[in-house]
Amino acid sequence: MVSLKDIAAACGVSVATVSKALNNQSDVSEARKAVIRKKADEMGYFPNLAARALKTNTMHDIGILFSDEHNSGLTHPYFSQVLEGLKIRAEHKGYDITFISTDFGQRKMSYLEHCRYRNVDGVVIACVDFDQPQVLELIRSDLPVVTIDHIFDKCATISSNNVKGMQELTEYVIRMGHERIAFIHGRPSSVTNERLASFYRTMEEHGIEVNEEYIMEAPYLDDEASADCTRKFLSMKKRPTCILYPDDLSCIGGMNVIRSEGLSIPGDISVAGYDGVPISQIVSPKITTFRQNMQGIGRAAADKIVELIERPKTALKDNMVIDGALSEGASVARIYRS
């Protein structure tokens, strides 16, 4: 491994001068800095992480706590994109990422204990049971924490704009002439509460009364549960003309049921999803959905946790909301009224 001493010998300067140049200190001229940096690159120099940690009191390591109820891990259609955006931005800023869990070899440890063991500088928390005691212990610790899609007091949060997203999706369906609109929402959470409130408010603003029989609950990403809800809608004497699903995968589950009943989409009944995951644009017809800026959320989370780590006295622990965009697709038919 190339050392500062090797670079100093190759450049004919002191080790202290090489260190100052690589750390962009002002008492070395820009011309000399350029020469030293070029030589360091040519020699394949990488800074020693252990030495850097001793000097800066940071490991340049971000913990990621991610554990959804389906144990989908990195195959999660929504959060996999969020984590990809986070990973790319964190690495660009010189940070590694470590996944935090309660299992370590043959022993168990709390999330906070794992963070201490790995000596991470901060933690991003996404898609967990935020009421879990171990999660609360981590959030209340002295570690910098950023949460995704869940707001805590005294904690920085990155959220998708669920209120605006559901409003735009509902308004689009209404513009297409639909009034008998069903909504399958996810289990209670801050995300679900925002979407549900936005749906009711948008319907009210357009003077459309919500049929409570058209409101059902199914877990996110549970295509079978949403399929069961779809069967109930289809069996109604006055069935809805459009069904809104909690996510795109659930929407696909509903579409399969609709087709199994010999009905066409959107000819006989319209559907719309949420998230804008890639598969929603591959199926036929393309799903009308609200496309969340998943990688943008990940990038924003990386920026915020690095800010909290590197500028703890000035970084704001605020809630940043990331906008998405409507993707019209072809699964919602226009209804013409006489």
Domains 61-160+295-324 and 162-292 share a fold: yes
Q: Are 261 and 236 in contact (CB under 8 A)?
A: no
Reported pTM? 0.81
Give pLDDT, residue 277.
92
Q: CA–CA distance from 81 to each of 19, 93, 275 (Å)? A: 38, 19, 11
Listed as own residue / partner, the contacts of 74-81 with beta carbons closer than 8 Å and 24 or more positions apart are 76/127, 76/221, 77/221, 77/247, 77/248, 77/249, 77/275, 77/277, 77/279, 78/247, 78/275, 78/277, 78/292, 78/294, 79/126, 79/127, 79/294, 81/277, 81/294, 81/295, 81/298
Residue-wise pLDDT for 130-171, tens only, equals 888 999 999 999 999 999 988 887 889 999 999 999 999 999
Total number of residues shown for the chain: 338
Give pLDDT, residue 79.
86
Cα(95)–Cα(306) distance, integer angstroms: 9
CA dihedral over 31, 1, 62, 81, signed as positive or negative: positive
Residue-wise pLDDT for 35-59, tens only, equals 998 988 888 887 765 555 545 556 6
Cα(335)–Cα(268) distance, integer angstroms: 11
What CATH architecture applies to the domain 61-160+295-324? Answer: 3-Layer(aba) Sandwich (3.40)
Mean pLDDT by 10 residues, the chain (338 residues): 86 88 84 90 74 58 81 74 92 90 77 91 88 91 93 89 97 97 94 96 97 96 96 97 97 97 97 94 95 95 95 92 96 87
The CATH class of 162-292 is: alpha beta
Give pLDDT, residue 54.
46
Structural domain boundaries of the chain? Answer: 4-46, 61-160+295-324, 162-292
Closest CA to 283 of 265, 260, 269, 263: 265
